[in-house]
Amino acid sequence: MSTAAARFLDAAGSITRNLRHRGLIQTALRKYESARDRRKAAFHDWESARQAAAETKWEAINHLDEHLVSFADKLESRGTKVHWCGNGIEARDLIRDIIRDAGAKCVVKSKAMTAEEIHLNEALEKDGFEVVESDLGEFIVQLRKEPPYHIVFPAMHLTRDEISDLFEKELGSAPTREPEELTMIARRALRRKYVTADVGITGANFAIAETGMVSITENEGNARLTAALPRTMITLLGIEKVLPRMEDLALFLPMLATAGAGQAITGYNTLYSGPRQPGESDGPTEWHVVLLDNRRTELLADPEQRDALHCIRCGACLNVCPIFKNVGGHTYGTTYSGPVGSVITPHLRGLQDWKHLSGSSSLCGACTEACPVRIDLHHHLLQNRRNAASEKPSTLERLTWRLHAFLMNSPSLYHLAKECGRVFEPLRKATEGTVLDPVRSWTTTRTLPPVAPVSFKEWWRERR
Amino acid sequence: MNGRERILARIREALRVPAPRPGSHGHGHHDVPAPAPQAGRIPLRPVQQARAWLPPGGDTPEEQLGRFAAASADLKTDFHLLADEAAARAKLSGIASAEGWKQIATHRAALTDAVVPSLGIPSRTTDGGYDPEDLERCDAGITTCDVLVAQTGTLVVNSRTTGGRALSVLPPHHVVLARRDQLVGDLTDAFQRIRELHGEGWPSMISLVTGPSRTGDIERILVLGAHGPKKLTVLMW
């Protein structure tokens, strides 16, 4: 039986040895880091801005019911259809029905992690619809039939040569080493789709409660086009995306861009408040906003970790995480990877099956420091470990600790254990890391310090 | 119960236990109960103070112009500050002949009416609807904007009064015509201006455009013109 934990260990073990992969990720993240630091330096006070962002999100999440009601009512008053889906199946069925009712064949889609979360593309393709990812990175990983590697940089694990080979194979384009030329190949392939697609699907970055608006952040303009030309538009978003007021964006747009990509502000930040209105020249005649719970309310019910719902999906915690830098995005086997993924996945998909992610952390706290909304990520990893152990205690682990405590509380037993250690030291050394070693899984990558020939107590006695 | 009521009921149930306020984590305050969420709004809005902590937009019009010009250079937006309308016509005509425009698209507004017809290039307007295939074939989209932001080099377009959703993003070159008094300092000012202009009835789309379309998805190398315009020109007088 292959569990998520076993698959994680297996994948992590092989990819950490892949120096080419590591080099690629570290080059990309170095570029990110220098850009981010330059942008942070332009702030008068980054730390105070973080605190303000944390407080604003706290207000949003801790009054989530009021904000969602206002958001939905405002949208509906302007002709938008708002749907509330408890889980992925409900959302998938609903979206499929909307597309079917629209009589559509081709769907053009901009980036949406919530769509990855509910495996929307697979479901729609199974029903015979063509779904085209329009974000360049997403387009590339879709052609490779793999999930995005990173929530902000979906194709950061690929070189231009790999992308050129992929385009040559899938699109029949001429090989090139120029990123610009590769981008233009994708541009040409997708241009026709915007004009001909019947339905456009987008994600969302913020839901503005007070005015009933959806805010979408992007650099390429693909979401703008997706929301402009198809006659039906569908927007899928998690219920936690709420911000109380439109003016809050004056803080959140620079924070998201700085933490997420080292930009002062992202290229396009677009507020949608309805389908095409009277007197307007274009835009979809029908707009469906799909609010997704999918166990977010269970995370909400945990006051200790509720702030994990403050997450704005900037990816900053992934970019600074020593684990992510070594094992990469695909190893996690989750929609949301890195520290925030390790925190929320156990809530979204089951603690016992995903507790290993909370264990694969050095608890260095780099994630907590990087988070623009100050989510207490590394403490949450620790709390997940505690919750997993108290929910399902490991008998072996408990016995080990009990034995340890017993030894440590008895001077004579401690002395005896010490003597044994000294006697068996040559044997231990000879078998370290071999099949005879009882703690082999630990010692294959680590070395135990040798037992000292003279204990401190003996040494001290001689000195005196 | 329908989906809405079901989810709202779950949220209300979950929120019965209050969560600690931000900043109280990880400092030994785990056991201190936070104040219960109040029925009304929290009086202090942190975002109103946050403005002072963000990158500055400049206090005087000169300073704001300087910042907008610097941000534009950084973003590869082609920004031209011009003396008057005649200078704008001359500048635009120069760009049109340099790029060999054959067909352009625009919309009806005081600024576009004053400048675009003088080009003598076949132009279509998006007002009242258009064929996307035609718009796609245009060499440039010429629009006005609501407001420009010195802090970030941003300009704001909307779906009702600046030509619709696609005009500023489908043609390969987006040209924006603007007056000097449309430039404000920072995003907080910009949202205030947006509210003044549209608060009575929102256009279905309001877009903050910062630089030409861009991507870094291939080896984090910047490429302009991913899906939207490869070029963004701002003519201000």
Contact flag A43-B55 (C-beta cutoff 8 Å) = yes
Cα–Cα distance between A242 and A67 in angstroms, integer? 7
Residue with tokens 């199974």: A126
Cα–Cα distance between A265 and B208 in angstroms, integer? 10
Cα–Cα distance between A98 and A78 in angstroms, integer? 19
Closest partner CB to A247 (pick from B53, B71, B188): B188
Contact criterion met (CB below 8 Å) for A297 and A278: no
Residue with tokens 């992308």: A163
For the four alpha carbons of A250, A254, A260 and A264, in that order, the dihedral sign comes to positive
According to the model, what pLDDT value does residue B31 have? Answer: 44
Contact flag B50-A184 (C-beta cutoff 8 Å) = no
Cα–Cα distance between B163 and A228 in angstroms, integer? 12
According to the model, what pLDDT value does residue B38 have? Answer: 46
Q: Which of chain A's residues have a Cβ under 8 Å away from the Cβ of B2?
A: 84
Domain match, B143 and B208 both: yes
- Cα dihedral B18→B22→B26→B32 (10° resolution): -40
**Cβ neighbours for A158, distance < 8 A, ≥ 6 positions apart:** A24, A140, A144, A166, B218
Domain match, B84 and B176 both: yes
Q: Does residue B55 lie within any of the structural domains?
A: no
Q: Which residues of chain B have pLDDT under 70?
A: 24-48
Cα–Cα distance between B16 and B36 in angstroms, integer? 9
Mean pLDDT calculated for residue range A317-342: 96
Domain match, B26 and B111 both: no
Q: Does residue B130 lie within any of the structural domains?
A: yes
Domain match, B72 and B29 both: no
Q: What structural domains and CATH numbers belong to chain A?
A: 43-294 (3.40.50.10420), 410-463 (no CATH)
Task: Between A398 and B209, name the one with better pLDDT.
Answer: B209
Cα–Cα distance between A288 and A214 in angstroms, integer? 12
In the predicted model, what is the mean pLDDT of chain A?
95
Domain match, B130 and B176 both: yes
- Domain span at residue B96 reads 61-236
Contact flag B204-A277 (C-beta cutoff 8 Å) = yes
Q: What is the DSSP string of B200-220?
A: TS--SEEEEE-SS-EE-TTTT
How many CB atoms are closer than 10 A to CB A54?
23
Q: Does residue B49 lie within any of the structural domains?
A: no
Mean pLDDT calculated for residue range A305-332: 97
Minimal CA separation from B67 to chain A, in Å: 12
For the domain that residue B205 is a member of, what is the CATH number? 3.40.50.10420
Contact criterion met (CB below 8 Å) for B191 and A215: no
- Read off the tokens for A15: 């990819």
Contact criterion met (CB below 8 Å) for A232 and A285: yes
Give yes or no for residue A373 having a pLDDT over 70: yes
What's the gap between Cα A28 and its chain centre?
A: 17
Put simply, the chain A residues between 144 and 173 with a CB less than 8 A from any chain B CB are 153-156, 158-160, 163
Contact criterion met (CB below 8 Å) for A73 and A97: no
Number of domains in chain B: 2
What's the gap between Cα A107 and its chain centre?
A: 25
Domain match, B104 and B219 both: yes
Give yes or no for residue A451 having a pLDDT over 90: no
**Cβ neighbours for A255, distance < 8 A, ≥ 6 positions apart:** A49, A50, A53, A312, A314, A372, A373
Contact flag B205-A271 (C-beta cutoff 8 Å) = yes
According to the model, what pLDDT value does residue A312 have? Answer: 98
Put simply, the chain A residues between 255 and 314 with a CB less than 8 A from any chain B CB are 261, 264-277, 279-283, 291, 293, 297-298, 300-301, 303-304, 306-307
Domain match, B93 and B21 both: no
Q: For the segment A21-64, what is each residue's pLDDT rounded down to a tens digit?
A: 999 999 999 999 999 999 999 999 999 999 999 999 999 999 99
Domain match, B177 and B220 both: yes
Q: Does residue B197 lie within any of the structural domains?
A: yes
Domain match, B27 and B116 both: no
Q: For the segment A224-248, what is each residue's pLDDT rounded down to a tens digit?
A: 999 999 999 999 999 999 999 999 9
Contact criterion met (CB below 8 Å) for B204 and A274: yes
Q: Does residue B131 lie within any of the structural domains?
A: yes
According to the model, what pLDDT value does residue B24 have? Answer: 65
**Cβ neighbours for A40, distance < 8 A, ≥ 6 positions apart:** A46, A258
Residue with tokens 């002709």: A79
Q: Does residue B166 lie within any of the structural domains?
A: yes
Contact criterion met (CB below 8 Å) for B135 and B163: no
Give yes or no for residue A367 having a pLDDT over 50: yes
Q: What is the widest separation between alpha-carbon atoms in chain B?
A: 74
Domain match, B105 and B176 both: yes
Percentage of chain A lying above the pLDDT 70 cut: 100
Q: Mutating which of B205, B206, B231 best tests the A interface, going by the most A Cβ atoms within 10 A?
A: B205
Mean pLDDT calculated for residue range A373-402: 94
Q: Does residue B188 lie within any of the structural domains?
A: yes
According to the model, what pLDDT value does residue A144 have? Answer: 96
Contact criterion met (CB below 8 Å) for A311 and A299: no
Q: For the segment A269-309, what is each residue's pLDDT rounded down to a tens digit?
A: 999 999 999 999 999 999 999 999 999 999 999 999 999 99
Band the pLDDT of A429: cuts 50, 70, 90: confident
Contact flag A153-B220 (C-beta cutoff 8 Å) = yes
Contact flag A281-B50 (C-beta cutoff 8 Å) = no
Cα–Cα distance between A198 and A231 in angstroms, integer? 6
Closest Cα partner for B234 from B7, B58, B8, B72? B72
Closest Cα partner for B34 from B17, B46, B51? B17
Domain match, B23 and B125 both: no
Q: Does residue B56 lie within any of the structural domains?
A: no
Domain match, B26 and B97 both: no
Q: For the segment A96-152, what is each residue's pLDDT rounded down to a tens digit?
A: 999 999 999 999 999 999 999 999 999 999 999 999 999 999 999 999 999 999 999
Task: Write out the H or E segment, with its range, that includes residue A236.
Answer: strand A232-238
Contact flag A267-B21 (C-beta cutoff 8 Å) = no
